[in-house]
Structure 1
Amino acid sequence: MSRSDRAPFRQGRRGALRPAASRGRAVTRTLSDDPLGGTVRRTVLPSGLRVLTEAIPTMRSVSFGIWVGVGSRDETGAQAGVSHFLEHLLFKGTHKRTALDISSEIEAVGGETNAFTTKEYTCYYARVLDEDLPLAIDVMVDLVADSVLDPDDVETERGVILEEIAMHDDEPGDEVHDTFARAVYGDHPLGRLISGTEETVTPMTRRQIQAFYRSRYTAPSIVIAAAGNLDHATVVKQVRRALAGGPLDTAPAEPAGHRPNTPVVPVRTAATVVEPKETEQAHVVLGCPGIDRLDERRFALGVLNNVLGGGMSSRLFQEIRERRGLAYSVYSYASQYADTGLFAVYAGCAPGKVDEVLDLTRTELAKVAAHGLTDAELARGKGMTKGSFVLGLEDTGSRMSRLAKGELLYGDLLPVDELLARVDAVGVDEVNTLAAELLTVPMSLAVVGPFGEGDFRADS
């Protein structure tokens, strides 16, 4: 056992052992030697920034990501869209690199970079050949830690984001999901658009963005993850070198704790929200509040979701598309946050078929709530859940994401075998009890299409 492996630990949420700060020393621990994956190691730097890697010697590439525990739900109403605005701006230049430098240095070695903002975190990532990982680390750490936020770039990106918002409004199949979130959460931050709106983005100032950047992008809130052909100690050394002397090279601190799950997120009573648009196809989402991401029933929910609308053999797909030909696309999904969640069914169909599609959807949900799943459906749902999880780990990007989400969102990285065992352990009674609880509440409805508010009812 190395000196770092003997460092003190503190008990984290869900009982996971977490390295504590150790008098300014980096603390390293091996988390797993998974036969279905590579060796996973975790280092907590003195600043509270965490570095996780998965070494996969059989790969010739590496995916490298910087994950920040802040998203659109952390914004006030006046700030709506600032996280997404900042995501755009960080690629526009640092004190060492111009925007062209950032893109050209990575593209010159055949790599790629990108970023995305969610309601609870923001991610910046690059994928490169293994030999070019030092370059990717230097570039990505630089852009996240030391962006200039030039006033001219703020104005340029404001125009880009407003175009992005307008483009989103032209995609009703995407817009309806945001409309559904608003139907359930109302004015709560989880009900807002990640991008913000024209009304919030237009007046946003550089000063506001800068203040958000420096107050929320702190070392304890950041997780760096990498997966591929790499050496953990070398990655940590390269990250520390890239951080040295910069804004994230700060005094010793503990890593940020989990996002609190109180107070309870308020949800609206069953509501119907209609966005009238002269579209050729109607888009509908019918659903209700679900469970949070740490709820032990999340494995049962995954199985239930797959049986209801998770594939071509699902009940909804078979009944609505295959047997009746009423919709091209129909599926169910679950979204989970720190303290709440959503369960919903989406369908895209001809406007004249909406009522029939909704009636059939409500009927299928009621059947499952009343009678549960069959043993054959349970077995199929488990198989789909396990297969999609394992097949989703076939590239370095998904493995990198798994490391970061485990650390940032769960405080725990379950080995692949344990995750599969948790799915196998799901019983039919557990799924049926959850279905009876989840699918019998009044449902909210979101509609985008050639309708008015009075054309629909909010009952389930």
Structure 2
Amino acid sequence: MIDANDTPAAPDPDSRVSGAAGVVRSELPGGARLVTETVPSVRSVALGIWIGIGSVDEGPDQAGAAHYLEHLLFKGTGRRTASDIAEEMDAVGGEVNAFTAKEHTCYYAHVLDSDVALAVDVLADVVTNAELAHTDVELERGVVLEEISMRDDDPEDLLGELFDRTLFGDHPLGLPVIGSEESIKSMSRDTLHAFWRGEYTTPRMVVAAAGNLEHDRIAELVGTALAGASAAHAGHRSEPPRAARGIQPVRESALACEFDESEQAHVMLGVPGPGRHVPGRATLAVLNTALGGGLSSRLFQQVREQRGLAYQVFSSQVRYADAGSLSVYAGCAPERLGEVVAVVRDVLGEVAAHGLTDAEVKRAQGSLRGGLVLGCEDTASRMNRIGRSELDHGRQRSLAETLGRIEAVTTDDVAVAAAELLSQPLTAAVVGPYDGVDDLPAPLRDLG
């Protein structure tokens, strides 16, 4: 609990740097970083406490701990009950929530600019002062197990986890964020408490805020709210962005299948990709968008528009510190799975061999530019952008710089990236009414 009379040290003025236009960064005592973006045209503030800890940081006995804590930290603190938290935020029309990913966790709020002090205090209280009562641990254990059951009933969620497990193998990137039924059932309160106290430290925190705000005022509020947690790490500097550890994802062809009694087959095919510290991010974004990122993309046109084989088909890419992936998803009638996979493989092979046309590259660049600019009209999107950038890269890139990098991508750049990436053996995962791999159509069984 933070005493009202505690006066935290002021942020070091020499640590403040200018990043993108309107973005200011400073480092607070205890190593927490504050990044704000002022948007004077709005009446709200989106605020997030980002922690550079996710499911990849869990040991075997901790699998699912970060997500479990996402539930537990809102159950009560030394100053507030769960009802208090809900009532205080509802009273100002605010939103408070959290999400857990493979490499980070974020606790966030969205409030009117006049209520930003409340949002800062509630979030810091939740993240640093939770009680983790034994009764709440048991109560939320059942909720998390229900969530796992819901995941198992959603073929698309199940497919994503099956694909990651097949592609990344035993590496933590291949494990589900939510954990398993076995790990959640066996996880003790002591294990959760030790993970929380040991990992959720101020040097690993980034506080990001975007909206109608003043950086100095947010710094004062955050410094006060995190004073207790910061004191335990006095003199510590912020931790650098997560570095690559040299993971070697599955490079040979791999295929996995999980039975689901449904009227649709769900398939994901993909290849390993570079981690986020490898240059070429803009080129891969253009490739992915042209390949399967919109209605004019080659996959959408070939699979849905020209052949009517599937209602939904798209590609996506992710980039973690160690590695990444580029994958294609399609959902179709089971009897059409073989044809869908054959068309997807043909498209990927054609792009790997011959690249994309100038027109496709231009359309993809325009789509990316539009999405980035339109996203900046939302304070939550801005907060996510600056928070992720600080946590993942330790720097802010201006919108103009990002748009310039996209514009600079050439058709030849995309061709080189496509040849390198899409010529790799495919990994595939299928969820649907199939008894096993041997029950799948030939275009999947003969991947290579």
Range class of TM-score, shorter chain = over 0.9
Q: Is the partner of 1:226 in helix, strand or coil?
A: strand
Q: Counterpart of 1:29?
A: 16
Q: Counterpart of 1:459?
A: 447
Q: Does 1:273 align with 2:256?
A: yes
Deviation of 1:411 (Å): 1.3
Give the distance between the partners of 1:73 and 1:408, measured in 2 at CA.
15
1:187 to 161, 166, 170: 170
Q: Counterpart of 1:221?
A: 204
Deviation of 1:129 (Å): 0.4
Deviations 1:263-309 (Å, cap 9, x if unpaired)? 32443522111001111100000001011112221111110111110
Judge conservation of contact 1:303–1:431 (CA < 8 Å) in 2: yes
Judge conservation of contact 1:67–1:122 (CA < 8 Å) in 2: yes
Q: Does 1:416 align with 2:403?
A: no
Q: 1:177 to 1:245 in 2, by over 3 A?
A: closer
After the TM superposition, which residues 236-315 of structure 1 pair with which residues of structure 2 at under 5 Å, given as runs? Answer: 236-246=219-229, 250-267=233-250, 269-315=252-298
Q: 1:197 to 1:458 in 2, by over 3 A?
A: farther
Amino acid at match of 1:272: L
Give the distance between the partners of 1:412 and 1:189, measured in 2 at CA.
26
Amino acid at match of 2:200: Y
Q: Is the partner of 1:325 in helix, strand or coil?
A: coil
Deviation of 1:123 (Å): 0.3
2:356 to 368, 373, 396: 373
Deviation of 1:205 (Å): 0.2
Deviation of 1:23 (Å): 12
Q: Does 1:211 align with 2:194?
A: yes
Q: Counterpart of 1:320?
A: 303
Judge conservation of contact 1:309–1:332 (CA < 8 Å) in 2: yes
Q: 1:104 to 1:247 in 2, by over 3 A?
A: farther
Deviations 1:76-103 (Å, cap 9, x if unpaired)? 1221101100111110111011111111
Structure of greater relative contact order (alpha carbons < 8 Å, 6+ residues apart) = 2
Q: Counterpart of 1:86?
A: 69
1:347 to 323, 327, 330: 330
Give the distance between the partners of 2:20 and 2:299, measured in 1 at CA.
40
Q: Counterpart of 2:89?
A: 106
In terms of mean alpha carbon deviation, does 387-396 or 222-231 score higher?
387-396
Deviations 1:183-202 (Å, cap 9, x if unpaired)? 10112111111000101100
Give the distance between the partners of 1:33 and 1:302, measured in 2 at CA.
21
Deviations 1:382-408 (Å, cap 9, x if unpaired)? 111111111112111010111111110
Q: Counterpart of 1:175?
A: 158
Q: Does 1:430 align with 2:418?
A: no
Q: Is the partner of 1:78 in helix, strand or coil?
A: helix
Judge conservation of contact 1:47–1:254 (CA < 8 Å) in 2: yes
Q: Counterpart of 2:38?
A: 55
Deviation of 1:32 (Å): 3.8
Give the distance between the partners of 1:308 and 1:179, measured in 2 at CA.
23
Deviations 1:144-177 (Å, cap 9, x if unpaired)? 0111100000001000000000001111022111
Deviation of 1:251 (Å): 1.0
Give the distance between the partners of 2:61 and 2:35, measured in 1 at CA.
35
Q: 1:424 to 1:72 in 2, by over 3 A?
A: same
Judge conservation of contact 2:267–2:429 (CA < 8 Å) in 1: yes
Amino acid at match of 2:437: E
Q: Counterpart of 2:108?
A: 125
Deviation of 1:241 (Å): 1.2
Q: Is the partner of 1:62 in helix, strand or coil?
A: strand
Q: Counterpart of 2:124?
A: 141
Alpha-carbon RMSD across the aligned residues, in angstroms, is 1.6
Judge conservation of contact 1:27–1:44 (CA < 8 Å) in 2: no
Judge conservation of contact 1:31–1:42 (CA < 8 Å) in 2: yes
In terms of mean alpha carbon deviation, does 75-84 or 194-203 score higher?
75-84
Give the distance between the partners of 2:113 and 2:287, measured in 1 at CA.
40
Give the distance between the partners of 1:397 and 1:81, measured in 2 at CA.
26
Amino acid at match of 1:256: E
Q: Is the partner of 1:190 in helix, strand or coil?
A: helix
* TM superposition outliers: structure 1 runs of 4+ over 6 Å: none
Which structure shows the bigger proportion of residues in helix conformation? 2
Q: 1:259 to 1:33 in 2, by over 3 A?
A: closer
Give the distance between the partners of 1:207 and 1:247, measured in 2 at CA.
23
Q: 1:268 to 1:163 in 2, by over 3 A?
A: farther
Deviation of 1:262 (Å): 1.7
Deviations 1:307-328 (Å, cap 9, x if unpaired)? 1100010111011101111100
Q: Counterpart of 1:5?
A: none
Structure 2 spans left out of the alignment, 5+ residues: 1-8
Q: Does 1:449 align with 2:432?
A: yes
1:73 to 56, 59, 79: 56
Judge conservation of contact 2:309–2:340 (CA < 8 Å) in 1: yes
Amino acid at match of 1:453: V
Share of identical aligned residues, percent? Answer: 50
Q: Counterpart of 2:4?
A: none
Q: Is the partner of 1:91 in helix, strand or coil?
A: helix
Give the distance between the partners of 1:247 and 1:89, measured in 2 at CA.
22
Give the distance between the partners of 1:83 and 1:255, measured in 2 at CA.
20
Q: Is the partner of 1:412 in helix, strand or coil?
A: coil
Deviations 1:55-91 (Å, cap 9, x if unpaired)? 1111100001000000001111221101100111110
Amino acid at match of 1:104: E
Q: 1:25 to 1:378 in 2, by over 3 A?
A: closer
Judge conservation of contact 1:386–1:420 (CA < 8 Å) in 2: yes
Give the distance between the partners of 1:390 and 1:223, measured in 2 at CA.
24
Structure 1 spans left out of the alignment, 5+ residues: 1-21
Q: 1:246 to 1:183 in 2, by over 3 A?
A: closer
Give the distance between the partners of 2:185 and 2:287, measured in 1 at CA.
42
